[in-house]
Amino acid sequence: MSTPLLIAVLLALTAAAYVLGRRRSVAESGGVGGVRHLHSLPSYYGSYAALWCLIPALLVLAVWTAFQSTIVTELVVKQLPQDVQQLGADRLGLVLNDVRNLAGGNVVSREVTPELRAAADHLRSLERTSAAAMAVAVLSLGIIGGGLAWRQISPRLRARNRVEAIVSVLLITASTIAIFTTIGIVLSVLFESIRFFRSVPLTDFLFGLDWSPQMALRADQVGSSGAFGAVPLFAGTLLISGIAMLVAVPIGLMSAIYLSEYANREFRAVAKPVLEILAGIPTVVYGFFAALTVAPLVRDAGGFFGLDVASESALAAGLVMGIMIIPFVSSLSDDVINAVPQSMRDAAYALGATPSETVRQVILPAALPGIVGSILLAVSRAIGETMIVVMAAGLSAKLTANPLDSVTTVTVQIVTLLVGDQEFDSPKTLAAFALGLVLFVATLGLNVIALHVVRKYREQYE
Amino acid sequence: MSNGTPSSAGAPRRRVLDAVTGSLSRRYASERRFRLLGRIAVLSGLVFVGSLFLSIILNGYSGFFQTYVKLPVAFEQEALDPEGKRDRAALATADYGALVKKSLQAAFPDVSGRSELRELYGLVSSGAEYQLLDMVEADPSVIGTTRDVWLITSDDFDMVYKGRIDRDVPESDRRVSDRVLGWLDALEKQGAIETRFNWSFFTNGDSREPELAGIGGAVMGSFYTLLVCLVIAFPIGVAAAVYLEEFAPKNRLTDLIEVNINNLAAVPSIVFGLLGLAVLINFFGMPRSAPVVGGLVLALMVLPTIIIAGRASLKSVPPSIREAALGVGASKMQTVFHHVLPLAMPGMMTGMIIGMAHALGETAPLLMIGMVAFVVDVPRGFFDPSTLLPVQIYLWADSPERAFVEKTAAAIIVLLAFLITMNALAVFLRRRFERRW
């Protein structure tokens, strides 16, 4: 039985449990007239039976599907000939892939030996057994759970309280998923990073000036070690983010000031949503725009002034990233500027200040913590931005401050290292996780600082 | 400021007034400069929006069209079905490419020589033979006759006809030789070239040939992925928002959860991709490139957005509603689920649609979990290898063929159309159901 069908059958069982539970509660109370003798409304008795039918079965289903493929693979490996089992993890993975392809009726990359055929048959029979056993286990658990709950139903059963207890457990579980996601991110990135730092020392990674992660295919090849000094990546990331902030902060801040202090209502009603469109455009579109339109423009402009501009210049990527970030700066600053009370403006005007003097000497100082916070959030956004730099920035790790040169960033390297075929024990792949750890820590730190700045230095008005 | 009352210190006060009036022109000038700067900032933002859309639309509108060329094709009996049995299997394996080549040769009989012939054959797409196969399968009686068929042209030919390849560039710098241009002009004079709306762009899967590539597979992949994302993220998001806003006691755990959610909302999306790769694919052994994995990763990514929006909309339900429900004897749970949640639902739906729009446009985490594979087939389920609309855009943007530029931009137009629809729906929901208490 396929999983979607199984889930459909389980849902049908649940619905049946609801109807039966409800009916039993009415019958136990002595017909429709006796419903008032029940502790709870009849629908709660139905829900009680339905929840007991559904939840245990779903849990088993989830655990089973999560671990099925690992266990089946393990069993197939056990059955493979001894010499195949002795192979390294990567070679064994290739053999297993062939076994899977053979079982699925796909093209196989090697000669089909009897052992391979036997392993494929074994795999297929195991998968079939597992699917059947899962269906039996899930459905019988549903029936047993629903049945037990159904038998408990009597007018004195406190069904509402029990259902509400179950629901509140579900609610708590749902809200802890955020914690588990964070733990998952930290653990997955940290584990692989620790494996990486076993082969490459932490100081070499953080302070090394040479980044060339290309590992050789054979161990005895020249220059097979690769170099994992991440400083050029950090420098490139900072360069591109810096250019982006040079574009985004003045434009974003000035438009927020203009729209909230000067513009009339009609202009504001049009311009603000249009600027916010920029925030909704997918980053891959910006990447395409950068590579197709802005990069040639920058190169031609550079050529016009007699400058030598790389075709994947940091300037082009940074400009487009700046455009992307404008709405973050402008809408966050807009909020803080609007939060400055009108009485302060009125006081400044009453003293004879012009609007611009009011903005510069009263509003901006009052709104400064919020603006700084929004700029920090924008920086963390720029550092973590991926698609624009993947499509418009280069791959060569150069340590340069020249915006016309091509640089690479942390996110670009993560993508390059992890896209395509990978073996999971080479430092090349693990380096991506180490870079991910740096990225995670940096953005997290910026966010914490931003929130702290906003909270600590915010002036409380009224 | 100056009240005009005469006093003994008249001389210095007049000097203050003079200083004020004297500085006025300077202050007004700086006021005008500041206002101008603000106007420039807003205008440059608007110009950026405009140029972005303009660049995409100008590059992409022609991607929705495809050039066809009309050629007389002789469906020869001996080439297709020498035994005359009309056996479907035999018909499917016949060499339709040879038919296309023969009809091209017949149209330009004076072409000879290997390289010239190859150039001639390159006028028509490799998909043309499948067109002929489809014709024969639909109606075997065409065998033995000669029909005028509109065949799909190759990407280079298409590009020249649409004017995307500059004819004035010297031949050595051009992808297409003068010979091909001559053939094109000859065909055009005969009225044998036509541009049609490219419906197959919406139904085909990916292809190495730009003229055959379509976004059908990517749209289906995005659909399955978003469905998984929705089914996981919406119930969990609503449940978490309800718990945190309505039930959670003020304690360490709740604070921790709140801080976590706020921080997760700011974690770069690529980190979620790393999570998916390390946990879902390597630890749980889930298949690569499958919509179910993509949906899970995107669900974790948009969950904070949905929770934050959900809490905001729960917060906007006035306490009087809760008090009234509690007052007539509803339990806390009944109050929330029967009265507060229905009133907060439009706001939650709005937040969810915006979250889904965000997920639809996201690319970076999907690259991590292997959704960049070249997938020709349109996916049919949650476990089929598939590609997504933004990933398809990324893949095409990387392709060297000139014709993929317009396909990329056309795919972006489709993606933006989806996003605009979703956001318009969110705005509509907000306008329609928003209640001011």
- B5 occurs within a structural domain: no
Domain assignment present for A190 = no
Q: Could you tell me the pLDDT band of residue A254, with boundaries at 50, 70 and 90?
A: very high
CB contact under 8 A, B243 and A172: yes
Q: What is the CATH number of the domain that holds A382?
A: 1.10.3720.10
Q: Looking at the structure, do residues B96 and B44 belong to the same domain, yes or no?
A: no
Classify the phi-psi angles of A306: left when phi > 0, otherwise alpha if psi is within -120 to 50, otherwise beta: left
**Nearest chain B residue (CA) to A164:** B333
Q: Do B367 and A419 touch (CB under 8 A)?
A: yes
Q: Which of A122, A157, A192 is the last residue of a domain?
A: A157
Q: Do A181 and B270 touch (CB under 8 A)?
A: no
Nearest CA in chain A to B42: A255
* Judgement on whether residues B109 and B73 belong to the same structural domain of the protein: yes
Q: With respect to residue A349, please indicate whether it lies within any of the assigned structural domains.
A: yes
pLDDT tens per residue, range A398-440: 888 888 888 889 999 898 888 766 666 677 788 889 999 999 9
Its domain, for residue A125, covers 3-157
Residue B12 reports pLDDT greater than 70: no
- Rounded to the nearest angstrom, the minimum Cα separation between B129 and chain A is 25
| B52 and B115, same domain (yes or no) | no
CB A171 within 8 A of CB B240: yes
The ipTM value here is 0.88
In a shared domain, residues B344 and B397: yes
Which residues of chain A are within 8 Å of residue B260 when distances are taken between CB atoms?
Answer: 178-179, 181-182
* Residues of A in Cβ contact (< 8 Å) with B427: none
- Asked if the Cβ–Cβ distance from A356 to B303 is below 8 Å, we say no
Q: Given this model, what pLDDT does residue A216 score?
A: 46
Chain A residues whose beta carbon lies within 8 Å of the beta carbon of residue B262:
447, 451
| Chain-chain contact of A174 with B240 (C-beta, under 8 angstroms) | yes
- Angle made by CA atoms A94, A95, A98, in degrees to the nearest 5: 90
How much is the average pLDDT of A164-186? 90
DSSP SS3 for B239: helix
Residue A307 in domain: yes
- Average pLDDT of A268-277? 88
Same domain, A259 and A381: yes
**A203 φ, ψ (degrees, to nearest 5):** -65, -35
Average pLDDT of the residues in A315-341: 90
Tokens of A80: 């493979």
Is residue A198 included in any domain, yes or no?
no
On whether residue B125 sits in a domain, the answer given is: yes
Q: Are A26 and A54 in contact (CB under 8 A)?
A: no
- Are residues A340 and A243 part of one domain? yes
Residues of B in contact with A439 (CB under 8 A): 268, 270-271
Are both A243 and A145 inside the same structural domain? no
Residues spanned by the domain of B24? 10-61
Higher pLDDT, B105 or A214: B105
pLDDT bin (cut points 50, 70, 90) of residue B237 is very high
* CATH number of domain containing B297: 1.10.3720.10
* Residue B342 token pair: 């229905």
> Does residue A280 have a pLDDT over 60?
yes
Average pLDDT over residues B403-428: 91
Distance between CA atoms of residues A167 and A54, nearest Å: 13
Residue B1 above 70 pLDDT?
Answer: no
pLDDT score at B2: 46
Among A96, A130, A157, where does a domain finish? Answer: A157
Which range (A261-270, B234-243, B364-373) has the least confidence? B364-373
Reported as half-sphere exposure (CB side, CA atoms, 13 A), residue A217 has a value of: 1
Q: What percent of chain A has pLDDT over 70?
A: 92
CA distance B412 to B417: 8
Give how far B279 is from chain A: nearest CA, Å: 7
Residues A142, A232: one domain? no
Contact between A42 and A26 (Cβ < 8 Å): yes
B56-72, pLDDT tens digit by residue?
999 888 889 888 888 88
Considering only CB atoms, which chain B residues are within 8 Å of A357? 27, 31
B contact test, residue of A194, A260, A285 with most B CBs within 10 A: A285
Residues of B whose CB is below 8 A from A413? none
Task: Among A88-102, A276-290, B3-17, name the one with the lowest average pLDDT.
Answer: B3-17
Is a pLDDT exceeding 60 seen at residue A27? yes
Split into its structural domains, chain B has a count of: 3
Give domain status of residue A220, yes or no: no
Same domain as B34, residue B80:
no
Test mutation, B26, B42, B46, chain A, max A CBs within 10 A:
B42
Q: Is B285 helix (H, G, I), strand (E, B) or coil?
A: coil
pTM: 0.87
pLDDT value at position B324?
Answer: 94
Taking contacts as CB-CB distances below 8 angstroms, the residues of chain A near B257 are 175-176, 178-179
Burial of A267 (0-12, 13-18, 19+ CB in 10 A): middle
| Burial annotation B74-107 (CB, 10 A radius, 16+ → b, else e) | ebbeeebbeeeeeeeeebeebebeebbbebbeeb
Domain assignment present for B411: yes
Q: For residue B239, give the nearest of A174, A255, A330 by CB distance.
A: A174
Report the gap between the CA of A4 and the closest CA in chain B (Å): 10
Name the residue facing A254 among B38, B331, B412 (closest C-beta): B38
Q: What is the pLDDT of residue B208?
A: 85
All residues of chain A having their beta carbon less than 8 Å from the beta carbon of residue B33 are 356
Query: Looking at the predicted structure, is the pLDDT value of residue B336 above 90?
Result: yes
Interatomic CA distance for residues A298 and A393, integer angstroms: 13
Same domain, B296 and B176: no
Q: Kindly state whether residues B150 and B37 are assigned to the same domain.
A: no
Structural domain tally of chain A? Answer: 2
Same domain flag for B333 and B293:
yes
SS3 B150: strand
Of A157, A185, A218, which marks where a domain is finished? A157
Same domain, B160 and B99: yes
pLDDT in tens, A441-460: 999 999 889 888 888 877 66
Q: Is residue B42 part of a domain?
A: yes
Domain membership flag for residue A440: yes
